[in-house]
Structure 1
């Protein structure tokens, strides 16, 4: 019997979120049990698909914190992928601003030592903001694999609604590598 690893897939409101069902299926084919968490705006964007996404994952799709005393509805995470991660979500995560469920889960994962990967989705104008590089450096310093630039997402000009290409397979490959490295015996790392 094969034990499935649990992935927390967290998504911000950026156009690649509309591909999330295919990403979930790809992750499942790689052996992941996927739990989907969204920012409130991302949940609004895919509101018509929430029931189908819950059926696909076998877990409730979450975008709000549970109430005190309510049980956790997800199993513990073996790894976390935050993608697409917007300018706002990345900066909030790096600064520890956890008023949104997805960012709070991501922030807590760092403290738990959960392998984490993120791939931004933003335009070049936002990527030029000085806080963005500082946030990426903070996340990398905390052990997050950040897929930005040549081996991840390269921002395009401001204006278009959707990036021409969002490299979801690269994100899942990096996730698999991060999880494998975390699972390796200490003397092999």
Structure 2
């Protein structure tokens, strides 16, 4: 949880996909909280099998969501100021780039991309197995970057599977936020 003497950096959604790297999500949450973020975790339906939802709920103080709510149900999460997608899977990256919103996680990514909110995506899956060289994946990375999503994908620098340390992810997010602020001031 946030410490009382730490100013709030805002609300950060961490969107976790079904990946063997999902065990690193609590580290990212704690690092973000230490930096002053209020953190909420959203997961893809398959991501539920890769994270400890109860532990993350206790850590954040918010329920971990993976399904759309009914229209009459209240929102249980505050609106996000920024999003980190970690670990992002091949499937989620490709659906998001095409605007396919068949899950809460991808729906939120599509919505916040349209709102031009700060988003950092960190694809994490086996490299050298064909998925990372698949033309659809390469096209999706280009599209997301065109949509002003910052994709942090340097698997040779962060082996295995592009497991970027939380400090690097959050530093990148800060750079993205500062760039958006600078661009607004220029307008």
Normalising by the residue count of structure 2, what TM-score does the alignment of the two structures yield?
0.87
CA-CA distance at 1:155 after TM superposition: 9.3
Q: In the superposition, relative to structure 1, how do residues 97 and 133 fare at CA in structure 2: closer, same or farther (>3 Å)?
A: same
Aligned match for 2:73, one of 70, 93, 97: 70
**Partner residue, 1:180:** 178
List aligned pairs for 1:92-111, cutoff 5 A: 92-111=95-114
Q: Could you list the runs of 5+ residues in structure 1 that have no partner in the other structure?
A: 157-161
SS in 1 for 2:41: strand
The worse-fitting range, judged by mean Cα deviation, of 96-105 and 1-10 is: 1-10
Q: Secondary structure of the residue that 1:126 maps to in structure 2? A: coil
In 1, the alpha carbon distance for the partners of 2:178 and 2:62 equals: 24
Tell me, what secondary structure is at the counterpart of 2:131? Answer: helix
User: What's the counterpart of residue 93 of structure 2?
Assistant: 90
With normalisation by structure 1, the TM-score equals 0.86
Q: Where does structure 2 lack aligned partners over 5 or more consecutive residues?
A: none
Give the 3-state SS of the residue equivalent to 1:108 in structure 2: helix
Q: Does the 8 Å CA contact 1:78/1:179 hold for their aligned counterparts? A: no
The two structures, once aligned, show a CA RMSD in angstroms of 2.2
Cα distance, 1:154–1:99 mapped onto 2, change above 3 Å? farther
Q: Give the stretch that moved more between structures: 22-31 or 176-185.
A: 176-185
Where do 1:158-169 residues align within 5 Å?
Answer: 163=160, 166-168=163-165, 169=167
Q: How does 1:81-160 map to 2 (within 5 A)?
A: 81-122=84-125, 123-124=127-128, 125-149=130-154, 153-154=155-156
- CA deviation profile, 1:80-101 (whole Å, cap 9, x unmatched): 1111111101000001111111
Q: Distance in 2 between matches of 1:63 and 1:167?
A: 24
